[in-house]
């Protein structure tokens, strides 16, 4: 009688990538998650594939010397992400590779867009750069680009750029309903990408708004998005359900860094059972209507699913 099901094939494992070799850095706010270099990423991705995870998503850790106002490192075809994509495609061609399109890991000010004279975000100028960034990723072998910047009109622009260069087979997963959330705090620590002035509320959504999410999703769908995403996850299950009812597109949810950190912090205090809490979160996403889940807890969930299947866990 169980309605929702969760398997490895529902999960997208998310990684933070470092330059160099054999490098591993722990992340204090995210126990069990590390920043890793490309050689180690390949080992992890092989395991993911073996466990049945169909896709991984990558975020770059960019050193401070490489960041500038315009985020120009985002367009470097020899940058960390293009290098990682080429290596992964060679080693594990069947694994679906997803990469963010946004400038914040690369900008000195931490914003997702280019900045004007009055510290305003330059929406349309940013779209031009995002189109170029998507093309660099496509040329490096990405399967799915995931614009996470929330500029208006970027989906249509990126689609046009990709199609114009014969990359019509590269899909767009739009971070369509992305809220200006306190739960991204660990992410910004991991990437040293905290904003140096202002906040992201002029482009990310107000947590008070629900209808606006439906509008954002409808616009991105019209512009040519192949898949939509709601982010963060647990505090926005109502949005996930409403978007599910509005669209026929595949729908993703992102269980973000802060959601991972909250469960781990409580678990480390002995206040709740980590495995059960992660399982419950992920099955809740499926119940609410998600087709797939971007998560830092993919391996933990899979290990627990195995326990359930084997009868070790009396569920």
The catalytic site residues sit at: 178, 231
**For residue 232, is the peptide bond before it cis, meaning its omega torsion is within 30 degrees of 0?**
yes
Q: 49 or 296: whose CB is closer to ligand PBG?
A: 296
Residue closest to ligand PBG (Cβ)? 187
Q: Is 282 exposed, middle or buried (0-12, 13-18, 19+ CB in 10 A)?
A: buried
Q: Where in the chain does DSSP place strands (E)?
A: 11-18, 24-26, 34-37, 55-60, 96-101, 144-147, 171-178, 227-231, 251-254, 292-295
Q: Which of 58, 283 has the CB closer to ligand PBG?
A: 58
> How many CB atoms within 10 Å of residue 46?
14
Nearer to ligand PBG, 49 or 187 (CB): 187
Please check whether residue 296 is in contact with residue 14, taking contact to mean a CB–CB distance below 8 angstroms.
yes
CB 228 → ligand PBG: shortest distance, Å?
A: 15
- What is 104-151 written as a DSSP string? TTTBTT--SS-B-TTS-B-HHHHHHHHHHHHHHHHHHT-SEEEE-S--
d(CA 2, CA 279): 14
Binding footprint of ligand PBG on the chain (CB under 6 A): 100, 102, 104, 112, 148-149, 184, 187-188, 200, 256-257
Secondary structure element (H or E) that encloses residue 86, with its range: helix 80-91
Residue 285 C-beta: closest distance to ligand PBG, Å: 14
Nearer to ligand PBG, 187 or 304 (CB): 187
Alpha carbons 222 and 224: distance in angstroms, whole number: 5
CB of 135 to ligand PBG, least distance (A): 18
**What's the min distance (Å) between Cβ of 260 and ligand PBG?**
8
Residue 252 · residue 173 · CB < 8 Å: yes
Least distance CB 184 / ligand PBG (angstroms): 4
Nearer to ligand PBG, 83 or 188 (CB): 188
């Amino acid at each position: 009688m169980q309605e929702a099901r969760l398997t490895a094939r529902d999960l997208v494992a998310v990684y933070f990538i470092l330059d160099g070799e054999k490098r591993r850095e722990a992340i204090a706010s995210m126990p069990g998650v590390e920043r890793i270099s490309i050689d180690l990423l390949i080992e992890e991705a092989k395991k993911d594939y073996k466990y049945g995870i169909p896709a991984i998503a990558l975020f770059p850790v960019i050193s401070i010397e490489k960041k500038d106002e315009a985020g120009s490192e985002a367009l470097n075809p020899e940058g960390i992400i293009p290098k990682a994509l080429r290596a992964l495609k060679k080693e594990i061609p069947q694994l679906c590779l997803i990469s963010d399109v946004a400038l914040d890991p690369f900008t000195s000010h931490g914003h997702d867009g280019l900045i004007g004279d009055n510290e305003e975000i330059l929406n349309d100028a940013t779209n031009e750069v995002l189109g170029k960034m998507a093309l660099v990723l496509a040329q490096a072998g990405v399967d799915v680009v995931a614009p996470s910047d929330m500029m208006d009109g970027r989906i249509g622009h990126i689609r046009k750029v990709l199609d114009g260069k014969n990359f019509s087979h590269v899909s767009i997963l739009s971070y369509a309903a992305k809220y200006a959330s306190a739960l991204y705090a660990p992410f910004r620590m991991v990437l040293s990408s905290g904003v140096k002035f202002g906040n992201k509320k002029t482009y990310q959504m107000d947590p008070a708004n629900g209808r606006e999410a439906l509008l954002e999703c409808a616009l991105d769908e019209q512009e040519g998005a192949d898949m939509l995403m709601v982010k963060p996850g647990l505090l926005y299950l109502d949005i996930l359900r409403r978007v599910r009812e509005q669209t026929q597109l595949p729908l993703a949810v992102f269980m973000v860094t802060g959601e991972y950190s909250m469960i781990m912090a409580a678990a480390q205090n002995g206040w709740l059972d980590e495995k059960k809490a992660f399982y419950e979160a992920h099955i809740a996403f499926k119940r609410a209507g998600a087709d797939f889940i971007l998560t830092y807890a993919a391996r933990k969930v899979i290990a627990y699913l195995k326990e359930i299947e084997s009868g070790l866990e009396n569920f």
